[in-house]
Amino acid sequence: MDVDLWMYEREARNNGFSVVAGVDEAGRGPLAGPVVSAAVILPSSFKANGLTDSKKLSAARRTFYYNQIYSDAYAIGIGIIDPLEIDRINILQASLLAMFFAVTNLNPTPDFLLIDGQYKIRGDCHQKTIIKGDALSISIAAASVIAKVTRDRLMEKYHIEYPDYQFQNHKGYPTKAHREAIRDFGCCPIHRRSFKGVKESLS
């Protein structure tokens, strides 16, 4: 049975909220690079057949939806937390902080948030957390795509600066090739030194 991706947005509007934003992040698992969050407010007329969790989409489909979302969305906010801050406050807190920044970068300001996962973010805005929300809510799915494509493009730029690590291929995730590069070349400035995978690759 097809999932009604507008169910949560419609429920929020039926409860009196008018500006509903979906929020998601990309990059909790990598050994290098920032964590990136996005917040997206879509018009009720938005149509994107096949839009879902960005991890389930090909790179080409993500780019297609990324362009469509930027063309049609009422507002998009981005939040980025760098590896030094990730090491300082841990990846969960960094992800939640990136989400908070993404929401604060929205204009107009939302009055209701649909957040992927189980944790709410700070602030007074009404919020609903949804486990696997990127496959259940159109707004969260859109945020998932924006966050993923934004982060992937950042990692491709980092490849130019740190070519030994081949960031354009694995985007910082703990592949065999990435672990071997850490072992061979050590850490570069965008590695998350607190992560177990980095420590193990160095030992």
Inside any domain, residue 18 = yes
Q: Is 90 helix (H, G, I), strand (E, B) or coil?
A: coil
Inside any domain, residue 182 = no
* CATH number of the domain within which 60 lies: 3.30.420.10
Q: Is 128 helix (H, G, I), strand (E, B) or coil?
A: strand
Domain region containing 36: 7-160
Confidence of residue 3 (pLDDT cuts 50, 70, 90): confident
Does residue 68 have a pLDDT over 90? yes
**Over the stretch 26-43, which tens digit does the pLDDT of each residue have?**
999 999 999 999 999 999
Q: What pTM was estimated for this model as a whole?
A: 0.96
Inside any domain, residue 69 = yes
User: For residue 20, which of 137, 134, 121, 131 has the smallest C-alpha distance?
Assistant: 137
User: For residue 151, which of 84, 89, 70, 59 has the smallest C-alpha distance?
Assistant: 59
Inside any domain, residue 120 = yes
- As a whole number of angstroms, the distance between CA 134 and CA 197 comes to 26
**Over the stretch 140-155, which tens digit does the pLDDT of each residue have?**
999 999 999 999 999 9
Q: Which two tokens stand for residue 200?
A: 């193990």
Look at residue 203 in the predicted model and tell me its pLDDT.
84
Look at residue 1 in the predicted model and tell me its pLDDT.
55
- Asked if residue 90 lies in contact with residue 23, where contact means CB atoms within 8 angstroms, the answer is no
Residues paired with 92 in a beta bridge = none
